[in-house]
Structure formats: structure tokens, C-alpha cells
Amino acid sequence: MIRTIAAAAALALLPGLALAQAGSPTAACTHRGALDDAFCDEDRDLVADPPREAGRLRNPSTLVFAYTPVEDPALYATQFRPLLEHLSACTGKRVVYFQVTSNAAQVEAMRSGRLHIAGFSTGPTAFAVNLAGAVPFAIKGNEREFESYRVVVLARASSDIRTLADLRGRRVAHTSATSNSGNLAPRALFPALGVTPDTDYRVVYSGGHDRSVMGVNAGDYDAAPVASDVYNRMVGRGQVRAENLREVWRSDPFPTSSFAHAHDLQPELAQRIRQCFFDYRFPEAMRRDLGGNDRFWPATYLREWAPVRAVADAVNAPYTRAAFDAESRRELEAEARRRAAQQQQQAPRPQ
């Protein structure tokens, strides 16, 4: 039986407070790398090892799944329903969908033990690995290859913005501070191309790729760097018309969202979950909604996320607790501003 869990509990988590402990640090651990003290990486594959103590391995009767909130969170509850039904039949366990509205809430949910399987956006995947013990194992794809995306800079087709140089002096929407395509990659790549964010143009955080696209389309922003896969899905669904927007620039490819499980699941359960993903073939509606992809490809954080880590290193944006807390505060502040603006727009005007 598949159900959606309200996200209110996750959103109530306040940044700046200590994250829930995923387990006490292992005194015998000889290597953690970039991982939080709650985890160990003895095999040096950059992700958390399963706990050595049998009593810390989990075999929950209900599995909780969440997908990255890069677009309308409610949209994915419907799109991923066939997958969750498959996982329920394949694992013999009840599977529920956990609807989150921020990257920080999703990472915190896995760290606190409330989330067992998740699709994390490209950039926040590293926070999930380092702080929440996430173990990425798959990427969406088709029969030929796994899906990748590019950073595309969009402007209105009617504007005079035709090159990156034309962004100077403009109001440009970045999605969120932790987003690879919506913030980190532009900050790493644009200066070599002659444009430096926050120096040559004003950065405004929109809160999401879909919000950036819709904001450019409406004229709220002059331009925006976004993930090409999100933009293409929005065009395919008719949310925006491609002829109304101009693609100013595009990057080399990056991996799309990772699918990961919690590091402390019983090994047999973790292996079963991975195999359930790899054996699954998307039904027609799911293929259409997810850009023509029809399956999951094996992937590792060590290999597929190397270019993402390189971008973060280039802009000195480490995936640490301090950076996570700062991003959490920014996400909550941005959401509060959006809600205030919506309330102001909806308020009755004096007669």
C-alpha cells in the first residue's frame, strides 16, 4: 500500500540545531575522509560503511522513499507511484512516499533515520553522503546509457541577452546554494568565460529549477542557469513554451539525481533494494514523465560524482555541516519570503 506522508515534520526542523545522531562515532574507525564523525569509510569508496555492530543494522517493516524537490514536490508522488508499488511487491514490505519541499529537509530525514531510500538532486547528493550516510547506487537512464544533464542558461526570447557577456548588470536567478547546476557549476565555470556571479550580475535565489524557469518566462528574472532535464520536462508538459525562451549557453554533461539507500540497512535488504531498482522497467506514463528514461543504471558516488565534487572544490564549497546549516537557513528564509509575497498578492485590495 503506497501513501504520501506530509512534509510538515521535516520542514519543522530548524537549521543551526545539531542534526540527529545517526549513531555514535566508531572509536576503531581509521578513515572517515569527508564523512561526518558518525560514519566510517574503511574501504575508501567515499561513502559510509555499514555499521559493524549487528544491533545497529536496520530491517524496517515499512520503507520510506523521497524524491528531490527540484520541481513541484506533489508532482513526484504521482510519478513515482508505479516504482513504489514495484518496490513493495519486490521487497515484501510496505513502501510510503515522504514529500519534502527542501533539500535540507530531505538530507535531515535520512540522517535522522526516517528515510530509507531517496532520489537526491545532483549537488545535495554530496551532503546526503557526507552528513546522512546515503549510499548512491543508481541513476535513471535508457537502454543505451544513464541520463546526464547540462547546465543551460535561459533568457526570454524577446530579450537582448544572447551571450553570457550580456548577463552583466542583470538580475539572474540561481536555484539554491547547494545546487550543482543552479549555483555551484555557474560559479565554477562562468568566471573563465568572462562573467562572475555576484560581481558582474546580481544573484537572486529562486528556490528551485522550475521556479527559475517560470520566473524567466514571466519576466521576473532576466536569465537563469538551470538543469536541462528539468527544463526539457517542463517544455514537454506544456508548462512553458520553448519558443518563448532562448538558450544562451550550455555546459558539458553532469550526472542527474542519484538514487541512494541508507548505509545502515541490513546488507541483505540493501542488496535486495538495489536489485529491485535494476530489474524495474518504467511503464509508459513514467517514461514520458521522466524524459524517456525506462530503467536504472548502476552508479557509484566515487566514479559518477567526481565532476560534481570537482566543481565544489573549484568554488571552495565543501559539503560540510557548517555549509549544510547555512544552506538550511537560506532555504527557510527564501521560503518565508515567497510565502509573504504570495500572501501579499492574495490579500484583498482596499476598495
pLDDT at 18: 40
Reported confidence tier of residue 17, pLDDT bands at 50, 70, 90: very low
Residue among 345, 319, 296, 298 at smallest CA distance from 107? 319
Residue 351 or residue 132, greater confidence: 132
Does the model's pTM come out above 0.85? no
Instruction: Pick the range with the lowest mean pLDDT from 204-218, 245-259, 324-338.
Output: 324-338
> Cα–Cα distance between 206 and 155 in angstroms, integer?
15
pLDDT in tens, 94-125: 999 999 988 889 999 999 999 999 999 988 99
pLDDT at 5: 42
SS3 155: strand
Sign of CA dihedral 306, 309, 313, 314: positive
Instruction: Pick the range with the lowest mean pLDDT from 156-170, 300-314, 317-331.
Output: 317-331
Count the residues in the chain: 351
Asked if the model's pLDDT at residue 299 lies above 60, the reply is yes
Asked if the model's pLDDT at residue 20 lies above 50, the reply is no
Question: Average per-residue pLDDT in the chain?
Answer: 89
pLDDT in tens, 77-88: 899 999 999 999
Residue type, position 204, single letter: V
Range from 26-35, 48-57, 66-75 that averages highest in pLDDT: 48-57
pLDDT at 280: 98
pLDDT at 349: 64
Query: 130 φ, ψ to 5°?
Result: -75, -35
The helix or strand, by DSSP H or E, that contains position 205, with its residue range, turns out to be: strand 202-205
Alpha-carbon dihedral of residues 13, 14, 16, 22, nearest 10 degrees?
-10
Contact assessment for residue 133 and residue 262, using Cβ atoms and an 8 Å cutoff: yes
Alpha-carbon dihedral of residues 51, 39, 133, 325, nearest 10 degrees?
150
Asked if the model's pLDDT at residue 246 lies above 70, the reply is yes
Asked if the model's pLDDT at residue 320 lies above 80, the reply is yes
pLDDT at 69: 83
pLDDT at 123: 87
